[in-house]
């Protein structure tokens, strides 16, 4: 090797082996180099015994996958570029022309939008079910039903379903279940081991998470995970994952790996703060409902209590009908510490006003809904922020 330009690329130096540090190493690669043609021909891209191409996994992505699988109580995890990609991967892998998917009416909005547009265009039908009525789901499952989505609690309106009852019904009918477990995050309950009221337990087939939320916690990463406990089901998902080409970047994986050790601490801190603020809202005359699974009046509180002691730092309030949408917007605009923005579980507290009419088939509440997501600020400051903003709308 005489030309220094070549030496910049093919250098004989190798650092000593055996380096160890608290943080796992970060490997970045599109290309993975094979030792020889025999290794190339023998490449095993279906399992994790080796490496074939950056898109199919690196030590960095394998490490995060293994940690999320354990967190969720599952055995295999796939990483995708967002929480929404985790939802659409499950749909694309498991649904074919002529199939039907059932989705809770209060599900994360983009899950419903994917069904309404992409799935519909591919000849896959969908229906939305009442998230609080297992009998309604049982009546809806037909010969074409292949997949039931679940979410606990529902996005924005926070009704907590009788998760084990829904899973048992779908299982009994031979239909796969997928849970959007972003709220529980693998910390509030084990989606693969849900206690039944009558004894015993059931588990969902697939748990997806927006790692964007609690796993990352920084409001600076988009990533999703798809976790299973069944090798054959995992392989179906993995093959679709490979064909669609959904890789994640090592820099993003590094951020999530770095945040995982503090995830439970952040979850519990935001849980505690969320309950304090939700209880404060309960005493306010401006709102008629506080939707937080830990509050006894919140829909599905009993279902939550049977599964968990933990909640995410997230809740909604329903303003009294005497307040117009414009007045509620004015309240939101008057907040100083709460920033207006989607997502949750980051360091900054967030707020979003929602009109239920466009979101739900049969809206349960009449007034405008405001969702709060707790950040990591001191809760007394957040309470004071809500109090000062309420002076804008008056009694």
Ligand X SMILES: *Cc1c(COP(=O)(O)O)cnc(C)c1O
Q: CB of 243: closest distance to ligand X in angstroms?
A: 20
Q: What distance in Å separates the CA atoms of residue 330 and residue 318, rounded to the nearest whole number?
A: 15
Under rule CB under 6 A, residue 182 binds ligand X: yes
Under rule CB under 6 A, residue 58 binds ligand X: no
Q: Return the number of the residue (84 or 389) whose C-beta is nearest ligand X.
A: 84
Contacts of 298 (CB under 8 A, 6+ apart): 158, 159, 160, 289, 290, 291, 292
Under rule CB under 6 A, residue 313 binds ligand X: no
Binding segment for ligand X among 46-54, 82-90, 137-145, 281-289 (CB under 6 A)? 82-90
State the number of binding residues for ligand X (CB under 6 A). Answer: 13
Which of the 8 DSSP states describes residue 383? Answer: H
Under rule CB under 6 A, residue 327 binds ligand X: no
Q: CB of 333: closest distance to ligand X in angstroms?
A: 23
Binding segment for ligand X among 28-36, 114-122, 206-214, 303-311 (CB under 6 A)? 206-214
Binding segment for ligand X among 32-40, 210-218, 241-249, 255-263 (CB under 6 A)? 210-218
Under rule CB under 6 A, residue 219 binds ligand X: no
Under rule CB under 6 A, residue 26 binds ligand X: no
Query: Using an 8 Å Cβ cutoff, are 252 and 222 in contact?
Result: yes
Query: Using an 8 Å Cβ cutoff, are 92 and 149 in contact?
Result: no
Under rule CB under 6 A, residue 69 binds ligand X: no
Quickly tell me which residue has 């979410």 as its tokens.
Answer: 151
Under rule CB under 6 A, residue 84 binds ligand X: yes
Q: What angle do CA 294, 296, 299 make, to 5 degrees?
A: 85
The residue sitting closest to ligand X, measured at its beta carbon, is: 83
Q: What distance in Å separates the CA atoms of residue 101 and residue 175, rounded to the nearest whole number?
A: 10
Contacts of 154 (CB under 8 A, 6+ apart): 104, 105, 106, 107, 131, 161
Q: CB of 79: closest distance to ligand X in angstroms?
A: 12
Q: Return the number of the residue (71 or 141) whose C-beta is nearest ligand X.
A: 71
Contacts of 327 (CB under 8 A, 6+ apart): 319, 393
- Site map 113..152 versus ligand X, x via CB under 6 A: ----------------------------------------
Count of C-beta atoms within a 10 Å radius of residue 157 = 24
Q: How many CA atoms, within 13 angstroms, populate the side-chain half-sphere of residue 179?
A: 31
User: Of 63, 288, 327, 343, which one interacts with ligand X (CB under 6 A)?
Assistant: 343
Q: What distance in Å separates the CA atoms of residue 343 and residue 352, rounded to the nearest whole number?
A: 9
Query: Using an 8 Å Cβ cutoff, are 125 and 100 in contact?
Result: yes
Tokens, residue 367: 């007034």
Binding segment for ligand X among 91-99, 208-216, 263-271, 353-361 (CB under 6 A)? 208-216
Under rule CB under 6 A, residue 207 binds ligand X: no
Under rule CB under 6 A, residue 352 binds ligand X: no
Q: Is the peptide bond before 133 cis (omega within 30 degrees of 0)?
A: no
Under rule CB under 6 A, residue 190 binds ligand X: no
Q: What distance in Å separates the CA atoms of residue 293 and residue 304, rounded to the nearest whole number?
A: 6
Pairing of strands 224-228, 206-210: antiparallel
Q: CB of 321: closest distance to ligand X in angstroms?
A: 27
Under rule CB under 6 A, residue 108 binds ligand X: yes
Under rule CB under 6 A, residue 155 binds ligand X: yes
User: Of 102, 210, 250, 368, which one interacts with ligand X (CB under 6 A)?
Assistant: 210
User: Of 131, 164, 224, 300, which one interacts with ligand X (CB under 6 A)?
Assistant: 224
Under rule CB under 6 A, residue 222 binds ligand X: yes
Q: Return the number of the residue (176 or 345) whose C-beta is nearest ligand X.
A: 345
Dihedral angle, C-alpha 370, 374, 379, 384, nearest 10 °: -30
Quickly tell me which residue has 């002691």 as its tokens.
Answer: 309
Binding site for ligand X (CB under 6 A): 82-84, 108, 155, 180, 182, 210, 212-213, 222, 224, 343
């Amino acid at each position: 090797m005489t030309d220094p330009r070549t030496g910049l690329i093919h250098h004989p130096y190798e650092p000593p082996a055996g380096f160890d540090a608290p943080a796992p190493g970060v490997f970045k690669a599109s290309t993975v180099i094979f030792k020889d043609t025999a290794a190339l021909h023998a490449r095993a891209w279906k399992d994790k015994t080796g490496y074939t191409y950056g898109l199919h996994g690196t030590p960095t992505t394998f490490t995060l996958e293994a940690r999320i699988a354990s967190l969720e109580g599952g055995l295999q995890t796939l990483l995708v570029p967002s929480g929404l990609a985790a939802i659409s991967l499950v749909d694309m892998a498991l649904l074919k022309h002529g199939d039907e998917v059932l989705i809770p009416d209060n599900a994360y909005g983009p899950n419903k939008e994917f069904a309404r547009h992409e799935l519909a265009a591919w000849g896959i039908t969908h229906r939305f079910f009442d998230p609080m009525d297992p009998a309604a789901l049982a009546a809806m499952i037909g010969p074409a039903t292949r997949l039931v989505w679940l979410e606990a609690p529902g996005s924005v309106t926070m009704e907590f379903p009788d998760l084990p009852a829904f899973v048992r019904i779908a299982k009994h009918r031979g239909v796969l279940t997928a849970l959007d477990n972003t709220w529980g995050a693998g910390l509030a309950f084990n989606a693969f081991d849900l206690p039944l009221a009558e004894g015993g337990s059931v588990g969902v087939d697939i748990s997806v998470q927006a790692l964007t939320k609690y796993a990352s916690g920084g409001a600076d990463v988009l990533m999703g995970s798809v976790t299973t406990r069944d090798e054959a089901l995992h392989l179906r998902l993995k093959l679709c994952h490979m064909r669609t080409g959904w890789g994640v970047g090592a820099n993003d994986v590094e951020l999530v790996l770095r945040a995982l050790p503090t995830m439970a601490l952040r979850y519990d801190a935001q849980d505690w703060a969320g309950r304090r603020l939700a209880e404060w809202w309960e005493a306010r005359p401006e709102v008629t409902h506080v939707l937080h699974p830990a509050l006894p009046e919140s829909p599905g509180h009993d279902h939550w209590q049977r599964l968990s002691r933990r909640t995410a730092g997230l809740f909604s309030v329903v303003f009294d009908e005497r307040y117009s949408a414009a007045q509620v917007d004015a309240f939101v605009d008057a907040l100083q510490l709460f920033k207006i923005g989607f997502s949750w579980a980051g360091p900054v507290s967030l707020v979003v006003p929602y009109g239920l009419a466009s979101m739900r088939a049969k809206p349960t509440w009449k007034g405008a809904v405001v969702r709060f997501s707790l950040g990591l600020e001191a809760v007394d400051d957040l309470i004071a922020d809500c109090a000062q903003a309420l002076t804008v709308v008056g009694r």
